[in-house]
Amino acid sequence: MKMEHVYQLVDGIVFKGKLQKQVTLHPIDSVSYDLVEQLVEEQLQHIQNQADVVLVNDSHLQGLKGYMLLNESAASSISKIGDENVDLMFFDLCQLKISAQDWNVILTANLAIAEYYANQAAMLA
């Protein structure tokens, strides 16, 4: 079963001085997801400890956590930018100034990959 999927970007990412128009994504395994979840928990704790941040209620907190998990999972699913192997977090992508259009491509692709492999695993069970 193919575990890497190549996607074309709209605007591209300047990576190591060169405009790259493709990314390769892979499904993240349970160990990687647990690490992402731990990272998000630490980030949430840091956010909650900021004096100028007031989370309205638990639903607000859970919504924020969901968005953070989505972003970090998508970032960690990127295995290549162009032909270069990468190991990224969402913060890393923000530093690369990825466009909203390209981030939407990556988010959507990551969700599709996760759903596809979850369905494949369910069919094998």
Which of these ranges, 1-5, 25-29, 55-59, 81-85, has the smallest mean pLDDT?
1-5
User: Token pair of 58, please?
Assistant: 């638990």
Share of the chain above pLDDT 90, in %: 74
User: What is the Cα gyration radius of the chain?
Assistant: 16
Give the count of domains, the chain.
1
Q: pTM for the complete prediction?
A: 0.87
Torsion angles phi and psi, residue 22, rounded to 5: -140, 150
Q: Which residues span the domain enclosing 85?
A: 5-124
pLDDT tens digits, residue range 60-97?
Answer: 889 999 999 999 999 999 999 999 999 999 999 999 98
Please name which of 2, 1, 7, 4 lies closest in space to residue 107, comparing C-alpha atoms.
7
Kindly state the helix (H) or strand (E) to which residue 47 belongs, with its residue range: helix 30-48
